[in-house]
Structure 1
Amino acid sequence: MRLAIVLYPGFADWECALLMAAARTHLGVEIDVATADGATVTSMGGLDVSPHLSIDALDPAGFDGLVICGGTVWDTAEAPDLSGTIRTFDRDKRLVAAICGGVNALATCGLLDRVEHTGNNAASLAALHGYRGQTHYREQPQALRSGHVITAAGTAPISFAGEILRGLGLGSEELDGFLALYGREHVAATSAG
């Protein structure tokens, strides 16, 4: 099993970290990081990541899924156009997942025009050129999987990781328990008398 994780300068450290660590360490999934030109990128938090390959070298035949991480680039005029790569993975029915601003890449290439999806908010997607999926947008805090397409707000890295792993056929009671451990901090604290 092999996943391609797309990172750009200013990527959001937390959005794909749990996915990458859990998939690689606990499930034996090979993780390949791809960047625009195959050069090192620096995250929002200052973490430098050396990629395995450039985005142009991504071939769906060698991967089970494509994951696009969010970050600062997606809300700028320098937002990259990943349409060709996304459409190739989609055409081959490979898993295509995006979180936070990375969802913009799916929206602008038309992938979200026909599937249920979520993201940071409906208004930010509606403002994007080429996006026609407003009727399929779902306002929810958790990641959403619709067939082989997975989307999430930047505040949902845990359910994002879970939906990707389930989408790859790696779901289990053990995975559910593992992800629940990370979600415990969101359970309201109760006060004892």
Structure 2
Amino acid sequence: MTRIAIALAEDFADWEIALLTAVGRSFLGLEIVTATPDGAPVTSMGGLRVTPDCAYGDLAGEDFDALVVPGGMSWEKGRAADLTGVVHGFRAQGKTVAGICAAASALAGTGILNTVAHTGNNLASHKAYGGYSGEALYKDQPQAVFDGGIVTAPGTSPFTFTVEVLKAIGAWTSEAEMEMQGFAAEFR
């Protein structure tokens, strides 16, 4: 079974992963595991209280197909826990890592975006992180970018983020495409 780990932080942006979790779990049968820095419940920007399955420290790349990190206010305010070890653990196992919104900038800070095409809310957000030197590969676009096992997206792109994550983990099936077409109808 395909497994996705979602690393949540306090005040995470719930809409950024809602489509991925709903389509993945309900229509595609993916296993979604949520984690927080210490395994304690967190509350999203929209007020949804989530009791996670585990702590960040319990996430081992060999046990999952992808690590997905939504953005949110704790990333914006610099209060989110450092995910560098977890991110590099997943990458060492050749697993997909995905970040949207401010979490894409946090991924920039881990150095994993320095050699792949990527996007995010804006280049300045990425450059605020000391470990980032990939500005030549930054794509200033509203859709998600998938390159070298890494998916990034601005916070306004949960649809293309979901599509690219599903493609990255090999879950982009005809059923997934059919379900996602309904969600894309407003963009036509």
Q: Scaled by the length of structure 1, what TM-score is found?
A: 0.93
1:144 CA displacement: 0.7
In structure 2, distance between residues paired with 1:107 and 1:29: 27
Whether contact under 8 Å (1:159, 1:179) holds in the other structure is no
1:176 CA displacement: 2.5
Whether contact under 8 Å (1:117, 1:144) holds in the other structure is yes
- 2:91 is the counterpart of 1:101: no
1:59 counterpart residue number: 60
1:157 counterpart residue number: 158
In structure 2, distance between residues paired with 1:60 and 1:126: 27
Gaps of 5+ in 2: none
Compute the RMSD of aligned alpha carbons. Answer: 1.2
1:158 CA displacement: 0.8
Matches within 5 A, 1:81-96: 81-96=82-97
Whether contact under 8 Å (1:71, 1:102) holds in the other structure is yes
In structure 2, distance between residues paired with 1:57 and 1:170: 24
2:9 counterpart residue number: 8
In structure 2, distance between residues paired with 1:181 and 1:28: 18
- Provide, for residues 3-61 of structure 1, a one-character-per-residue CA deviation record: whole Å limited to 9, x for no partner: 10011110111000110111111111100000001011000111000100000111111
SS in 1 for 2:67: strand
- 2:155 is the counterpart of 1:145: no
Equivalences, count: 187
- Provide, for residues 156-177 of structure 1, a one-character-per-residue CA deviation record: whole Å limited to 9, x for no partner: 1011111111111111333233
**Residue type of the partner of 1:46?**
G
1:2 CA displacement: 0.7
**Residue type of the partner of 2:59?**
L
2:115 counterpart residue number: 114
In structure 2, distance between residues paired with 1:77 and 1:142: 25
Whether contact under 8 Å (2:106, 2:126) holds in the other structure is no
In structure 2, distance between residues paired with 1:56 and 1:121: 29
Aligned sequence identity (%): 44
1:191 counterpart residue number: none
1:74 CA displacement: 0.9
2:178 counterpart residue number: 177
In structure 2, distance between residues paired with 1:91 and 1:177: 33
**Residue type of the partner of 2:95?**
R
SS in 1 for 2:163: helix
Segment of structure 1 superposing worse, 70-79 or 53-62: 70-79
**Residue type of the partner of 1:185?**
E
1:91 CA displacement: 1.1
In structure 2, distance between residues paired with 1:70 and 1:178: 24
- Provide, for residues 80-103 of structure 1, a one-character-per-residue CA deviation record: whole Å limited to 9, x for no partner: 211111011011100100110111
**Residue type of the partner of 1:171?**
W
SS in 2 for 1:113: coil
In structure 2, distance between residues paired with 1:39 and 1:129: 29
Q: Scaled by the length of structure 2, what TM-score is found?
A: 0.95
